[in-house]
């Protein structure tokens, strides 16, 4: 609790101590014979002023500055009205309960604000720099690119860089939501915001603080709350009209019924009858004023969204604004880029076919022939071979662009490449029924089989698609530049509903546009890409999701949702988080407004008095705030 | 030009009021107040004198919500 809250708490406690005995006396539960009425009023004013003086002050200031319909003013009028009409107890109690509500709200919001910011807090406080053998703590802002920093076990890595000395494991859960530690050794790139767990690391920094991963993410998260959703805008507009309308209604209620009753010729015999009619209706009007405060909804909606954003970021899902949380919940079609999202984007030798010699031997020849090539396919062949490549065994190497490689390995002439190479050399070859890139190999002019290379599908792609379907996503479409047969087999294997193959980058935009046309009503389309070359598509879709984007500026810039690691299951999770959050927002709107309307009706009918009104008001607010905080608990979705 | 300021305010409705007050200040193109992060983002008109405009924004906010603070 901060100082302001503590003071308020004390004021409330002391006021309650004064109030309770006075109330018991005024209700004649405690009999003190001859206790004068005027003394009761004066004594009631003590707790009233003690607990409400700041409200009254704000109300007066409000009038001075032309802010008439402000909740302070309403509370002041309602309570003074009640006291003036002789309902001292109710008047003081309303002020007291209102302040209790305010205190609770301020405490709960402050606490969840701290919790959520802590959750997202990857801001490093300092960096250690070695000066004359001594470690010195400096502001990460002041560290220049290329400096060597020392990170002790348990400390946050303050700046992105490369490890130059030391071995350790890193906890990157604040960045990615992934709880498995990541290894860091000499030469590995490390990201700011991860926590060093075991060994001392010396790191050469590669970015300034403003450009580092941690500050970029922080920036993104902090800005997220200022992009407001439709529901938030609706509520602030609503609050703007609701309060004045209820106030006018209260005025009408205070004046019209008594006047009408008198004109209709109600029994007005006696001074008391007239007084009673007026008192009754003015009290009902004061009750109206108590209900006119829109606090519960106004506070719980942004709190829900903020908690939702915080919860998502704790799972490695960065959502750039409350509005995207809203759109996310309505996603019914998802278009995927293939490479890097559904597949890993690294090529691997899957099989070796029709080889008359040992497969290992074939790979050995191939790997040596491909020794110099930097093509990802050549790399995958070398990886499949897995042993040291002795360049002395290779002679007469010739690379034929667009065809393949011809070379001599251990004196054997090796030709390795596609159909075109085999045709060119006049070697008869066999086609392969397998999906992927086919490398034919000929040894000394004799066809010796082929190597099949394919991009690997991510382990959880299939599970991810199933989860998305279970979450109610209707269309899962893969967009790829690959050949038809590759696309078809991948789509079938992971369980997509549709695919578009052989697309040029520009075609992807038009494909997404086509799919957008099919989204009717409230259905929204998301595009998932790895952030490389797909910025136009990311921004064209209703919501662009970039995955595995850690460290890619372009992706963080273009996307609306950034998945920090490349697990496709996070997409379904993001949708579930957004749904939970939106449904809590709706619950709160309906619940809080529903109770208000009911109370207004009951108050107008004279069934609900001020006690009911204030308890409903504060109660609704407390429940709505507690409900809103539920948005934070998204781990098991 | 856009700038972000730390603020202090007690209730969500008051933050709303600050936002409206800031938006209506001459020299301010747009303003957003986030009650949850306690931040005010102000987009200034081209060529506006930021310091002078913010002084006005502060005064206007104080008018609608006496109990607020903008850390300039």
Q: Which of A412, A433, A457 is the last residue of a domain?
A: A457
Pairing state of beta strands B39-44 and A134-138? Answer: unpaired
Of B35, B36, B64, the CB nearest to A67: B64
Same domain, A191 and A247: no
On whether any CB of chain B is under 8 Å from the CB of A65, the answer is: yes
Same domain, A221 and A333: yes
Same domain, A246 and A368: no
Q: What is the pTM of this model?
A: 0.81
**Which residues are within 8 A (CB) of A233 and not within 5 positions of it... i.e. 6 or more apart?**
none
Same domain, A310 and A442: no
Asked whether residue B64 carries a pLDDT value surpassing 60, the answer given is: yes
Q: In which domain, by residue range, is B11 found?
A: 2-71
Contact at 8 Å (CB) between A201 and A159?
A: no
Task: Specify the CATH number for the domain of residue A385.
Answer: 3.40.1110.10
Measured in angstroms, the CA of B47 and the nearest CA of chain A are apart by 24
Of B12, B63, B66, the CB nearest to A299: B12
Q: Which of A177, A207, A237 is the last residue of a domain?
A: A207
Measured in angstroms, the CA of B49 and the nearest CA of chain A are apart by 24
B-chain residues within 8 Å CB-CB of A117?
Answer: 37
For residues B50 and B56, give the distance between their C-alpha atoms in angstroms, rounded to a whole number.
10
For residues A332 and A338, give the distance between their C-alpha atoms in angstroms, rounded to a whole number.
19
Instruction: Identify the pLDDT of residue A458.
Output: 87
Task: Pull the structure tokens for residue A608.
Answer: 């609900």
Instruction: Identify the pLDDT of residue A529.
Output: 86
Same domain, A272 and A348: no
On whether any CB of chain B is under 8 Å from the CB of A116, the answer is: yes
Of B16, B38, B64, the CB nearest to A298: B16
Task: Pull the structure tokens for residue A295.
Answer: 């606090």
Instruction: Identify the pLDDT of residue A552.
Output: 67
- Cβ distance A295 to B10 less than 8 Å, yes or no, reads no
C-alpha of A559 from chain center: 13
Measured in angstroms, the CA of A106 and the nearest CA of chain B are apart by 7
Q: In which domain, by residue range, is A406 found?
A: 344-457
On whether any CB of chain A is under 8 Å from the CB of B45, the answer is: no
- Cβ distance B36 to A58 less than 8 Å, yes or no, reads no
Same domain, A618 and A576: yes
CA-nearest residue to A66 within chain B is B64
Same domain, A324 and A224: yes
- Cβ distance B12 to A306 less than 8 Å, yes or no, reads no
pLDDT tens string B5-53: 889 888 777 888 899 899 999 999 999 888 888 889 899 998 888 999 9
- Per DSSP, A603 falls in state H
* Residue A135 forms part of a structural domain: no
- Per DSSP, A630 falls in state G
- Cβ distance A225 to B38 less than 8 Å, yes or no, reads no
Please report which residue ranges of A191-294 form alpha helices under DSSP H.
Answer: 213-224, 230-263, 271-291
Helix A3-26 and helix A88-119: axis angle, to 10°?
160
Instruction: Identify the pLDDT of residue A551.
Output: 55
pLDDT tens string A569-586: 999 999 999 999 999 999
C-alpha of A186 from chain center: 34
B-chain residues within 8 Å CB-CB of A58?
Answer: 66-67
Longest dimension (CA), chain B: 33
Task: Pull the structure tokens for residue A379.
Answer: 């790399």
- Per DSSP, B25 falls in state S
Q: How many domains does chain B have?
A: 1
Instruction: Identify the pLDDT of residue A189.
Output: 87
Please report which residue ranges of B1-72 form alpha helices under DSSP H.
Answer: 12-23, 50-64
On whether any CB of chain B is under 8 Å from the CB of A63, the answer is: no
Instruction: Identify the pLDDT of residue A397.
Output: 85
Nearest residue to A93 (alpha-carbon basis) of A156, A170, A24: A24
* Residue A591 forms part of a structural domain: yes
Query: H/E element holding A2?
Result: none
Instruction: Identify the pLDDT of residue A269.
Output: 65
On whether any CB of chain B is under 8 Å from the CB of A482, the answer is: no
Same domain, A574 and A584: yes
pLDDT tens string A162-196: 999 888 998 887 777 777 788 888 888 888 888 88
A-to-B residue pairs, Cβ atoms closer than 8 angstroms: 64
Of B17, B36, B39, the CB nearest to A303: B36
- Cβ distance A113 to B38 less than 8 Å, yes or no, reads yes
Pairing state of beta strands B2-8 and B28-34? Answer: unpaired
C-alpha of A576 from chain center: 11
Low-confidence ranges of chain A (pLDDT < 50): none
Mutate: best of B15, B30, B34, partner A, most A CBs <10 A: B34
Task: Pull the structure tokens for residue A450.
Answer: 């082929």
Question: Which residue among the candidates A70, A141, A280, A337 is catalytic per the annotation?
Answer: A337
For residues A123 and A364, give the distance between their C-alpha atoms in angstroms, rounded to a whole number.
49
Same domain, A465 and A600: yes
For residues A336 and A44, give the distance between their C-alpha atoms in angstroms, rounded to a whole number.
68
Q: Which of A457, A486, A519 is the last residue of a domain?
A: A457
Indicate if A337 belongs to the active site.
yes
Same domain, A221 and A196: no
Mutate: best of B10, B36, B37, partner A, most A CBs <10 A: B36
User: Taking the CB of residue A444, how many other CB atoms lie within 10 A of it?
Assistant: 11
**Three-state secondary-structure class, residue A190:** strand
B-chain residues within 8 Å CB-CB of A67?
Answer: 17, 63-64
For residues A637 and A620, give the distance between their C-alpha atoms in angstroms, rounded to a whole number.
27
Same domain, A202 and A222: no
Instruction: Identify the pLDDT of residue A271.
Output: 62
Distances (CA, A) of A393 to A21, A371, A389, A396, A604: 102, 11, 9, 10, 98
On whether any CB of chain A is under 8 Å from the CB of B17, the answer is: yes
Same domain, A24 and A85: yes
Q: How many domains does chain A have?
A: 4
**Three-state secondary-structure class, residue A160:** coil
Task: Specify the CATH number for the domain of residue B48.
Answer: 3.30.70.100
């Amino acid at each position: 609790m901060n100082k302001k809250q503590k003071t308020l708490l004390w004021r409330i406690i002391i006021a309650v101590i004064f109030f309770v005995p006075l109330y018991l006396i005024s209700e004649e539960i405690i009999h003190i014979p001859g206790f004068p009425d005027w003394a009761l009023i004066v004594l009631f004013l003590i707790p009233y002023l003690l607990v409400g003086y700041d409200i009254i002050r704000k109300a007066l200031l409000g009038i001075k500055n032309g802010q008439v319909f402000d909740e302070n003013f309403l509370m002041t009028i309602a309570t003074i009205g009640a006291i003036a009409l002789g309902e001292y107890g109710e008047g003081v109690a309303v002020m007291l309960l209102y302040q209790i509500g305010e205190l609770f709200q301020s405490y709960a919001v402050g606490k969840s604000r701290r919790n959520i910011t802590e959750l997202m807090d990857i801001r490093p406080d300092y960096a250690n720099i070695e000066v004359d053998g001594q470690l010195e703590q400096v502001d990460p802002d002041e560290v220049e690119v290329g400096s060597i920093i020392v990170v002790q076990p348990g400390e946050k890595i303050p700046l992105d860089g490369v490890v130059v000395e030391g071995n350790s494991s890193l906890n990157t859960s604040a960045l990615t939501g992934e709880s498995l530690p990541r290894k860091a050794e000499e030469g590995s790139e490390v990201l700011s915001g991860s926590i060093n767990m075991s060994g001392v690391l010396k790191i050469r920094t590669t970015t300034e603080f403003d450009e580092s991963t941690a500050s970029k993410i922080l920036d993104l998260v902090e800005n997220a709350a200022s992009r407001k959703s439709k529901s938030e805008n609706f509520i602030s507009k609503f609050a703007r009209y609701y309060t004045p309308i209820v106030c006018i209604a209260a005025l009408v209620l205070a004046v019209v019924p008594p006047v009408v009753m008198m004109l209709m010729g109600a029994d007005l015999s006696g001074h008391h009858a007239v007084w009673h009619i007026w008192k009754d209706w003015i009290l009902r009007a004061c009750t109206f004023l108590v209900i006119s405060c829109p606090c519960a909804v106004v506070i719980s909606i942004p709190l829900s969204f903020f908690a939702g954003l915080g919860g998502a970021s704790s799972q490695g899902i960065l959502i750039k604004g409350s509005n995207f949380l809203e759109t996310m919940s309505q996603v019914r079609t998802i278009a995927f880029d293939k490479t890097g999202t559904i597949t890993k984007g690294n090529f691997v030798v899957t099989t070796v076919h029709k080889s008359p010699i040992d497969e290992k031997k074939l790979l050995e020849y191939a790997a040596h022939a491909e020794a110099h090539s930097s093509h990802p396919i050549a790399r995958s062949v070398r990886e499949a071979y897995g042993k040291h490549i002795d360049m002395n065994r290779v002679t007469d190497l010739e690379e034929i662009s667009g065809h393949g490689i011809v070379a001599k390995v251990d004196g054997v002439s090796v030709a390795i490449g596609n159909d075109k190479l085999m045709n060119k050399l006049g070697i008869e070859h066999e086609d392969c029924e397998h999906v992927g890139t086919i490398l034919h190999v000929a040894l000394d002019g004799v066809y010796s089989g082929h190597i099949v290379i394919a991009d690997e599908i991510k382990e959880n792609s299939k599970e991810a698609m199933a989860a998305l379907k279970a979450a109610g996503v209707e269309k899962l479409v893969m967009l790829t530049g690959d050949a038809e047969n590759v696309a078809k087999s991948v789509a079938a294997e992971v369980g997509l509903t549709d695919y578009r193959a052989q697309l040029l980058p520009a075609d992807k935009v038009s494909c997404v546009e086509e799919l957008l046309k099919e989204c009717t009503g409230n259905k929204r389309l998301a595009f998932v890409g790895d952030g490389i070359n797909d910025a136009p598509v990311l921004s064209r879709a209703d919501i662009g999701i970039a995955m595995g984007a850690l460290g890619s500026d372009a992706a963080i810039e273009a996307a609306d949702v950034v998945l920090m690691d490349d697990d496709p299951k996070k997409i379904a999770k993001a949708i579930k988080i957004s749904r939970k959050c939106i449904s809590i927002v709706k619950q709160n709107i309906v619940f809080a407004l529903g109770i208000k309307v009911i109370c207004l009706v009951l108050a107008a009918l004279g069934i609900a008095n001020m006690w009911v009104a204030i308890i409903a008001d504060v109660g609704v607010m407390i429940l709505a705030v507690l409900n809103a905080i539920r948005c934070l608990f998204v781990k098991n979705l | 030009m856009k700038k972000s300021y730390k603020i202090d305010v007690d209730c969500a409705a008051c933050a709303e009021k600050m936002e409206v007050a800031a938006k209506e200040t001459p020299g301010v193109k747009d303003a957003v107040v986030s009650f949850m992060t306690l931040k005010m983002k102000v987009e200034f008109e081209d060529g506006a004198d930021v310091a002078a405009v913010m002084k006005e924004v502060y005064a206007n906010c104080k008018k609608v919500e006496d109990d607020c603070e903008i850390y300039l």
